[in-house]
Amino acid sequence: MAKIVLVAAVARNGAIGVKGGLPWRLPSDLKHLRETTWGRPMVMGRKTFDSIGKPLPGRETIVVTRDATFAREGVHVVRSIDDALALGHERAKAMGVDEIMVVGGGELYRATLDIADRIVLSEVDLAPDGDAFFPELDMRRWREVSRTGPLRGEKDEASFIVRVLERA
């Protein structure tokens, strides 16, 4: 069974999004997202997909939506998180990988936090306004297995630390 991995960039105040987009500009973290998710199935909500606007190359995109009319070329569309994870397991096996990457948004993170095996968390050194938030973590249930940073590329608006957490 493939591991469920949440991948998120989170501000100090828990913000992960605002008005359908990211509340910061961090090209270095987007590069990290690409490297982390490459070659794996990615599960995301429809709003997250809309903010990206297209399926990302090198990965399979699974979009969870209640909208029965939603369809996009190159995207697997499912109506529930259970269906998304079932398809994610199927696609991970077909792709020869052992991870399903959950990449947002807030509703999907909340719904999968209790079953996640790992969290790859970019902690952004900002506290912007937001309307989407990462769920609060009970650190008694997680242990840090690696930490990188602080990182900040020349085009990044802030520095960030990448922490990998595994279920304790």
The pTM assigned to this predicted structure is 0.97
pLDDT in tens, 40-85: 999 999 999 999 999 999 999 999 999 999 999 999 999 999 999 9
* 33: β partners: none
**DSSP string of 48-77?**
HHHHH-SPPTTSEEEEE-S-TT---TTEEE
Residue boundaries of the structural domains of the chain = 3-167
Number of H helices, E strands in the chain: 4, 10
CATH superfamily membership of 3-167: Dihydrofolate Reductase, subunit A (3.40.430.10)
Q: How far apart are the first and last CA of the chain?
A: 19
Cβ contacts of 100 within 8 Å, gap of 6 or more = 2, 3, 4, 5, 40, 41, 43, 85, 88, 89, 91, 92
pLDDT in tens, 8-47: 999 999 999 999 999 999 999 999 999 999 999 999 999 9
